[in-house]
Structure formats: structure tokens, C-alpha cells
Amino acid sequence: MTWMPADTSIVVVGSLCAVACALPGCFMVLRRMSMMGDAISHAVLPGLALGFLLTGSRASLPMFMGAAVMGLLTAYFTQSISKWGKVDRGAAMGITFTTMFALGLLLIVQATDHVDIDPGCVLYGALELTPFNTFGVIEMAGYIIDIPHSAIVLSIVLCMNLGIIILLFKEFKISAYDPELATTLGINAQLMHYLLMAMVAVTTVAAFESVGSIIVIAMLVVPAATAQLLTDNLKIMLVISAVVGVLAAVMGHISAIIVPPMLGFDGTSTSGMIAGSAGLLFMFVWLFAPRYGLVAKLFSSRKIEVPEMVASRDSACPK
């Protein structure tokens, strides 16, 4: 295996995407809305289709706008249905995003004889193609470095997410843990909710083009959940989730190069492999986290001595 400049830029783009998703992902996990990333990534389809229909071109900006608006609408409809119809939030989310996805499919099929927007492309993405879509070239210390187009887009999104989270850290923190307290303190918890949703929608859509939604869905949830098992401090959780995201991107790309030849195949999807490696990292932490891991729990629960009386009372009711 030889490491080429293209590999570096794939890893860089993957890491940028991972960190950009992991930061808002922490708040999504804390607010118990982890499935929102998945919902938004499916629900933006009508936005992509409308953007294409109205302009007749596959220019990025109108499709990006359409998709971002649909992403926000998903959050809004989910909230409204669960509030006004008293429907469980998970169900409201499921209804909203499947309906929007169906609408998008119908729009695409109705409007184009040949499907110009490939829904498959949206779902899987092609991270391994990013080096070929270059934005510009810079020379640094004698080395020539190609800058992929998606690296620029994702850097902007990452900076935006980072900026918003640093600026409004306290507000996000309080409204994530205790929306009622946030409201009494004069923080608009509703606004914070939609700001977070806007961040997720924009990040998801921006990452689509370049890396495909499967990385986004994975990176919104897995690094944050991994970090949650390692720390009780929100700031440290954000840092750990970013590190886990980068690790997953690196591991994913390396395994995308190494694994297929071992099994007798020619190549594979880097996005899928990055999601897989993130899962592997989570599994490792789930088992071996110092405090909340399964092994650690097993040992610490042995130390607790159960008093006789409590034990006998518990056994009276079969578990």
C-alpha cells in the first residue's frame, strides 16, 4: 500500500466532515434527537428536486438552498406534529421524513424522464472521488497541494459550527440539559432548538455533495455517543467526539484500501468504511471505557455488597 497525495486529501475531507458533524451531534445526542440526522438526510430530497426543477440546472446553490429549507421544515413539522397531534416524537419524525422522501421521489420521477439526480448518489456519496474535483492548487515549501472543492465547503461549515457553538456554548448547554430552566433564565430554548436544527441541516446538505449522507448520519451520532461513554464534561465530550471523528475517518480510509484486496475484491466505498470504523471505535469504548464501559461496570458492581434483607426482598418478585 502506498500513500498518495490523493489519500491525504480524502482523509482531510473525511475528517473535516466528521468534526463538522460531531460537534452539533453531541447536542443532538444529549437532547435525545439522534435520529434527526437520518430524518433530515432523507427529507431533503424534495428540496434537491425543487432546486433542480426551478432552475433547470444542477448548479449547487439553488439545490443547496432547497435542501437546507427542507431540512428545517423537517424539524418544524416533526415538532408541530408531536406538539399539536400529541404524537410520540419518534413517530412524528418517521411520518415527516418518509412523506417528504416520497414527495421527493415523486417529483423526480414526474419531472425527469431520465433521473438526473440520482438518489443513490445522495445516499452513498463518493468520497474517493473528491480529489478529482479540485478548487485550486497551492504551493507550500516546495510541495504542490491540490485543494479539493469539498474541503473548502466543509471547512466553511466547520468554522461556522465551531463559531456558533463557542459563542452560544452556555445557551446550548442549558437548553440541552434543562429547557425549562433555560426558559426561566431568559434563553429562548425554542430558538436554540431551531438553531441546532439549522446547523444540522446545513451541515448535512453541505456534506452530501462531497461525501454522501451515510457519513453524516454516522458522524452525527457515533462520535458523540462514544464521547458520552468517556466523560461527564460537555466541553471534553465535544473534544473527544471530534477526535473520534478524525480517527474514524483515518481508520476508514486505510481499511477501505486494505480490506477489499484481503477479501478478493477490487475496491469499496470509503464513506461506508468510515461509518464502519466509527462503529468499531464505539464498540471498543462501549466495552472498555474506564468508568461506563461494560467491563468496568462488571467489576465495580461486584464491589457493592447487597444487604441480606434487600436481596431477599428482591428475589420475591421474579425479574
Residues numbered 121 to 140 that lie near another protein (CB under 8 A) are: 123-124
Q: Which is nearer to another protein, 93 or 195 (CB)?
A: 93
One-letter amino acid for residue 233 of the chain: N
Interface with another protein includes 47 (CB under 8 A)?
Answer: no
Binding mask 17-46 for another protein (x = CB under 8 A): ------------x--xxxx-xx---x----
119 binds another protein (CB under 8 A): yes
**Separation between Cα atoms, residue 250 and residue 10, nearest integer Å:** 9
Place of cell 468510515: 274
- Does 111 participate in binding another protein (rule CB under 8 A)? yes
**Is 36 within 8 Å of 178 (Cβ atoms)?**
no
Helix axes 89-111, 45-55, angle to 10 degrees: 30
Nearest approach, Cβ of 60 to another protein (angstroms)? 17
- Can you tell me which of 151, 182, 195, 225 binds another protein, judged by CB under 8 A? 225
Where in 242-271 is the site for another protein (CB under 8 A)? Answer: 256, 260, 263, 265-269, 271
- Contact with another protein (CB under 8 A) among 8, 99, 133, 183: 99
User: Residue 69 burial (CB < 10 Å; 0-12/13-18/19+)?
Assistant: middle
Count CA within 13 A, CB hemisphere, residue 312.
Answer: 3
**Cell numbers standing for residue 36:** 434527526
- For another protein, which residue of 75, 207, 220, 257 counts as binding (CB under 8 A)? 220
- Give the burial class of 15: count Cβ atoms within 10 A of its Cβ; 0-12 exposed, 13-18 middle, 19 or more buried: buried
Does 228 engage in binding with another protein (CB under 8 A)?
yes
Residue for grid cell 443547496: 64
- Least distance between another protein and beta carbon 28 (Å): 9
- Under rule CB under 8 A, residue 13 binds another protein: no
Residue span binding another protein (CB under 8 A) among the ranges 61-69, 198-206, 224-232, 301-309: 224-232
Sign of the CA dihedral running 170, 176, 177, 179: positive
7 vs 128 by CB, closer to another protein: 128
Between 106 and 159, name the residue whose CB sits nearer to another protein: 106
The DSSP secondary-structure symbol of 216 reads: H
Nearer residue to another protein within complex by CB, 53 or 152: 53
Q: Are 128 and 135 in contact (CB under 8 A)?
A: no
Tell me: does residue 272 bind another protein (CB under 8 A). Answer: yes
Q: How far is the CB of 94 from another protein (least distance, A)?
A: 4
SS3 at position 44:
coil
> Considering only residues 294-313, where is the footprint of another protein by CB under 8 A?
294, 297
Q: Is 179 in the site for another protein (CB under 8 A)?
A: no
From 10-18, 82-90, 143-151, 155-163, span contacting another protein (CB under 8 A): 82-90
Write out the three cell numbers for 168: 452560544
DSSP 266-300: S---HHHHHHHHHHHHHHHHHHH-TTTSHHHHHHH
Q: Could you say whether residue 290 binds another protein (CB under 8 A)?
A: no
Q: Cβ of 58: how many Cβ atoms within 10 Å?
A: 12
- Grid cell digits, residue 18: 466528521
Tell me how far, at minimum, the Cβ of 64 lies from another protein, in Å: 18
| Residue reference for cell 474517493 | 128
**Residue 187 or 272 having the CB closest to another protein:** 272
Residues in the chain: 319
Among 205, 221, 240, 257, binds another protein (CB under 8 A): 221
